[in-house]
Every structure is written in C-alpha cells, then in structure tokens.
Amino acid sequence: MATRFQIQRGKGDPNSYKGLGDCFRTIFHKEGLYGFYKGILPPILAETPKRAVKFFTFEQYKKLLSFTPLSPAVALSVAGLGSGLTEALVVNPFEVVKVSLQANRDSFKVQPSSFAQARTIINADGLGLRGLNKGLTSTLGRHGVFNMIYFGFYFNVKDAIPASQDPTLEFMRKFAIGLVSGTVSSCVNIPFDVAKSRIQGPQTVPGQIKYRSCFQTMGLVYREEGYLALYKGLIPKIMRLGPGGAIMLLVYEYVSAWLQKNW
C-alpha cells in the first residue's frame, strides 16, 4: 500500500489515489483481493535473515562501542545505525523485486512470480546498482536512519521511565515506548523510503532513467511535487511499523532475557 502511494507522481498522475480508502477500493475492484498481497513473497523470504541481522548486529556493534569513549546513550544510536546499514545490504535485492511487483497494476493471476520477476531484472540489468541492487543508497539511508532512532529512542526512553513491578503494566510500558519508537522512526526515515520506491519502481518514461540516486531523487520529488510528496505512504507505514516495531522489540527483549537466564 505504501509503495503505491510513493510511486505515484502528483495529482497529474492518472493512477493517483485520492486517499487510503480510495487506494483500498481501487485495488480491490481492479486487481481483486490478492492485489493486496502482491510482492508478499520477497519480504517473507527476507524476513527471517533480516530480523536476525538486525538484532544480532545491533548486539555486536553495541559490544564494540562499549570500548569507545561514546556515552551509552549515543552508543545505542550508533549501534542502531550500524545494524541498519548492515541489514540494508541483505534486504535490498528483495526490495527491488517487491517494489517492481507491487507497482504492477495487472491482476494477480497474470502477474509474474517473484522468481520470474527476479530473473527478468537480472537478465535485463544484472546484479549491480542498475539491476537487482538498484536503490541501495536509499535503502541504506532508510534502514540506517530507522534503526538509529528505533534502538536509540527505545532503550534511552525505557531507561528514563521507571519500571513497574506489575507484569501487565510493565508490558504496556515497553509496548507504548516501542510503539512511539517505531512511529517516530517511520516519520523521520520516510523520505529515504520514497526515494527508494521511485528508484526501484517504474520510471516515468520507459527506457529513460529519471530517478538515479537517493538525494537527486529527493530533490527532484521536492521540486516537482512539493515537500509533502516526500511523506507519501506515511500513514500505512506507521500502521505497519508502529505496532510492528513495538512487538519486535518486546519479542527481542523477552527472548534475550530468557536466553540469558537459561543459557
């Protein structure tokens, strides 16, 4: 859903959606129920290694930064930045396939499979920065900025707010901080997300590359469509990563506590 908003090019775009409700209705009527699940396989395939890399590298960077003069508060954010940059290297090829599938407005039944789409991209443009790894800089920015705020905000705010002895209240405290963390991170990093979708999605004129690099794309979107265009797709993104980010942090914390206790 967020991808569709991010690749539309202002009010002059004939495929432009009027809002979230219009987007839901249009996709359902023109592409069917399965239209909401286009590009679902690449994220599923990437999800386990993505989360593993995210939290594992965060812990490793945090340990390394403990030997530096950085304050604990800053070290958490820097460790988050490092984990995001590492994560981006893993997920970017999957993102390229996902965006190209989600940009396709054909019926789900006639759409190519994820593997067929990946082969098409590789055969046409290779594995490099114009093929299966295009938009890498934007993906690095998206994940780096998100994780920097996500981890830094969560752990610093959690330490600043006293814990509760009541397990239910303690759960709600952590969930609320995680919810705000995921929401704030989404609001800050979305210009990188918009740039990524424009670079990895269909170009305005087939065969001509309009969106070439991260900051060039941000500047172009700003000049042609205005400042708010850099925040397209923010609502569906927050709906996904606000509560989703909170749940991930809770699982991470409880699993870490269990491992430390039993291993």
Q: Taking each helix axis from N to C terminus, what angle separates 114-125 and 72-102, rounded to the nearest 10 degrees?
A: 90
- Exposed / middle / buried, residue 57 (Cβ in 10 Å: 0-12, 13-18, 19+): buried
What pLDDT score does 101 carry?
Answer: 86
The model carries a pTM of 0.86
259 pLDDT higher than 90: no
| Nearest alpha-carbon partner for 104 in 39, 189, 149 | 39
Instruction: Tell me the average pLDDT across 109-133.
Output: 90
pLDDT band at 212 (very low <50, low <70, confident <90, very high): very high
Domain chopping of the chain, boundaries:
38-133, 135-262
What pLDDT score does 1 carry?
Answer: 47
In what helix (H) or strand (E) does residue 81 lie, and over which residues does it extend? Answer: helix 72-102
CA distance 146 to 143: 5
11 pLDDT higher than 70: no
Taking only the tens place, the pLDDT of each residue in 158-194 is 999 999 999 999 999 999 999 999 999 999 999 999 9
Instruction: Tell me the average pLDDT across 125-144.
Output: 96
Instruction: Tell me the average pLDDT across 222-234.
Output: 94
Instruction: Tell me the average pLDDT across 142-155.
Output: 98
| Nearest alpha-carbon partner for 147 in 240, 215, 69, 54 | 54
pLDDT band at 223 (very low <50, low <70, confident <90, very high): very high
The answer as to CATH 1.50.40.10 being correct for domain 135-262 is yes
